[in-house]
Amino acid sequence: MGDEKKAVIERLKILRDVLHDHAYRYYVLDRPIIADVEYDQLFRELLDLEGKFPDLVTTDSPSQRVGGEPLEKFNGVQHRHPMLSLENAFSEQDLFDFEERLFRFLKDFPELEYVAEPKMDGLAVELVYEKGFLIQGSTRGDGHTGEDITRNLKTIAAIPLRLQGGDLPSLLEVRGEVFMSTDGFKQLNAERAAVGEPLFANPRNAAAGSVRQLDSRLTARRPLDFFAYGISELNQIDDCPTQYELLNRLAVYGFRVNPLVGSCRNMEEVVAHYRHLLELRDSLDYEIDGMVVKVNSLTLQERLGTKARTPRWAIAWKFPASQATTRLLDVEFQVGRTGTVTPVAILEPVAIGGVTVSRATLHNEEEIKRKGVKIGDMVLVQRAGDVIPEIVQPILDLRTGEEKQVGMPVHCPSCGHMLVRENGEVALRCINPHCPAQRLRSLIHYTGKAGMDIEGLGKKVMEQLFNEKLVVDVPDIYALQPETLEKLEGWAKKSAENAVAAINASKSAPLVRFLSALGIRHVGEVTAALLVERFQTMEKLMAASFDDLLAVEGIGPQVAGAIREYFDDISVQKMLALLQEQGVVPEEKEEENAADQPLQGAVLLFTGTLSSFSRDEAKEIVKKMGGQVSSTLSKKVTHLVCGEKPGSKLRKAQALGIAVLDEKAFQQLIS
């Protein structure tokens, strides 16, 4: 062999080692030590060299991650040990019954420990490693025979092409789940929508579809990930007495293992872990559909053995489903406060995760077309956390031919005015400023949480006052008398007095509140804050020209135009003048200096009840001191302020490493 080739072999070996190490740090540990460009450079060098010397390409080379020529079909793979499925549990009782069966089988074993693992909602695969090298990867198939998808699995960065560490087993068959993150899924669907390709119903289908591509170069472009959760036969690994240690060993070999695996000393801890995962569920960036409970001792797992298709030592405790199928009975059109007409699906009521769902959003006409739903269809409906339920897709196999196309309205369902579609927007809009539906929605917005937040004037009450013609426009709110309210259905003296007191108190609300309450198009809380910051008073804001508005950072021509249009409207001017006469004088912003802004840059989130302030008072203080208040937990939050009985936010904040303050520490912060 020539010296040159020797040098190439040497260099290729170094490149592969270095690239494996960096990929492991990046994809498995999530702690990279070099920049992406540097990685890319090394990767390109590897591809170049292998291009020049194709005979030096190895099966474990990182170049295998990019995929290769399409296959005709997948070959079948016989699993050496069957890939089992799991029995399901749906309640705590089912879990205690499971434990009782274990005790019975093990003949009065005193106590059992468990491992509780998130049940990934992806697809099960088997990875075969010989002498530490990945030689085959396959789907579960019918449990005995799967499909050979080795080339596709090699494109998944979280799957090691070779194992790490010394003393590797001669044969290791790793089992685990391939999945797609929810973000990756959304992005993939957005890209598919843009080029008119059919959408995937959920991340699991997207992962399954991606992994079964005959062209592995396509698989390589899909955001797939992998968690390992077991091996096919326990004697493949030495000196490993428990499931928990088995997972640790897999991590040592270079696999990603779910960090939310819990080690539980008894069934009570298993139940606690289930609740913990259920709370975390909506904040995770991948989908889990339950928790798998496994007997921790591997010796006991062997003793317990398996039944025909399921092991005796494990059970899947399912979460309440977040999807269900039901019939789409009709589509209604709802007019929002800015006139936007939204199609709303009327569904045959169905329970999803403990809540009865009878309406779901269909967003807009384009969405209806893209999803291809028809009235009368059986549809898959999804509900996640507090989000409005939505229709995922129609179930085409259940069509009878009787289904009807969804017709879009030409006239406003509330006032009959002709609907328009404004430049470039997909939404239909009613532009009649006197449209009753818009009026009512605007009033609900004005008194609601995103507006003046007037206690006692929620959605139902505003509907009542509007239908009774007591409140038709904002100034009518300030003319309400306790005596009038008292006589209405569902009201009493006390509630009427309280409501009027709350209305009066709102007269001096901060200007930011008032501005977002007005419901000017495109002006929510964020833009309102920008406007107050720049113009300080209502008077100056109303006098600002289009160009003045455009000069504010964060405000573009569309928003500036909407603001100008709003204040130029004579009826708006009349209304604002009337409000002023009624004593509605929002608190304007004072000139401030840096010393008043000690919480600049801080983002606080409150949970639990505070004893010396109301939540709203505390928020006001934070804002006055230059801090921001968040209503949801995210990485942007800098401090979690915890009162009595904190909710799940506390645990999540701790998991995210966010500073947690009790009430005393919070008082110190603001003193």
CA 162, CA 39: separation in Å to the nearest integer? 19
CA 389, CA 382: separation in Å to the nearest integer? 6
C-beta neighbour count of 432 within 10 angstroms: 18
Residues 582/479, Cβ–Cβ less than 8 Å: yes
The CB-of-294 to ligand IVH minimum distance in angstroms stands at 7
CA 641, CA 601: separation in Å to the nearest integer? 16
Among all residues, whose Cβ is closest to ligand IVH? 124
Helix residue ranges per DSSP H, 378-524? 436-447, 459-467, 474-478, 482-486, 493-505, 511-518
Name the token pair of 207: 């992962």
3 state SS of 142: coil
- Kindly tell me which of 28 and 532 has the beta carbon lying closer to ligand IVH: 28
Q: Which residues bind ligand IVH (CB under 6 A)?
A: 84-86, 117, 119-120, 124, 140, 177, 229-230, 292, 311, 314, 316
Residues 425/338, Cβ–Cβ less than 8 Å: no
The CB-of-135 to ligand IVH minimum distance in angstroms stands at 21
The CB-of-238 to ligand IVH minimum distance in angstroms stands at 21
Query: Containing H/E element for 288?
Result: strand 288-295
Residue 470 is given by DSSP the state S
- Kindly tell me which of 177 and 225 has the beta carbon lying closer to ligand IVH: 177
Identify the burial level of 649 via C-beta atoms within 10 angstroms of its C-beta, where 0-12 means exposed, 13-18 middle and 19 or more buried: buried
- Kindly tell me which of 140 and 249 has the beta carbon lying closer to ligand IVH: 140
- Kindly tell me which of 28 and 360 has the beta carbon lying closer to ligand IVH: 28
Total H helices, total E strands in the chain: 25, 22
The CB-of-418 to ligand IVH minimum distance in angstroms stands at 53
Q: Which of 274, 191, 182 is nearest to 225 (CA)?
A: 182
- Kindly tell me which of 115 and 412 has the beta carbon lying closer to ligand IVH: 115
- Kindly tell me which of 152 and 527 has the beta carbon lying closer to ligand IVH: 152
Residues 234/298, Cβ–Cβ less than 8 Å: yes
Q: Which of 73, 119, 154, 374 is catalytic?
A: 119
Going across the sheet that includes 171-180, the strands are 133-139, 123-130, 171-180, 224-231
Mark whether 460 is an active-site residue: no
One DSSP character per residue, 222-275 reads S-EEEEEEEES-GGGSSS--BHHHHHHHHHHHT----TT-EEESSHHHHHHHHH
Residue 176 sits at φ, ψ, to 5 deg, of: -175, -175
3 state SS of 658: coil
3 state SS of 608: coil
- Kindly tell me which of 86 and 206 has the beta carbon lying closer to ligand IVH: 86
- Kindly tell me which of 227 and 446 has the beta carbon lying closer to ligand IVH: 227
The CB-of-210 to ligand IVH minimum distance in angstroms stands at 16
The CB-of-293 to ligand IVH minimum distance in angstroms stands at 10
The CB-of-325 to ligand IVH minimum distance in angstroms stands at 21
CA 455, CA 555: separation in Å to the nearest integer? 31
The CB-of-334 to ligand IVH minimum distance in angstroms stands at 39
Catalytic positions, written as ranges = 119
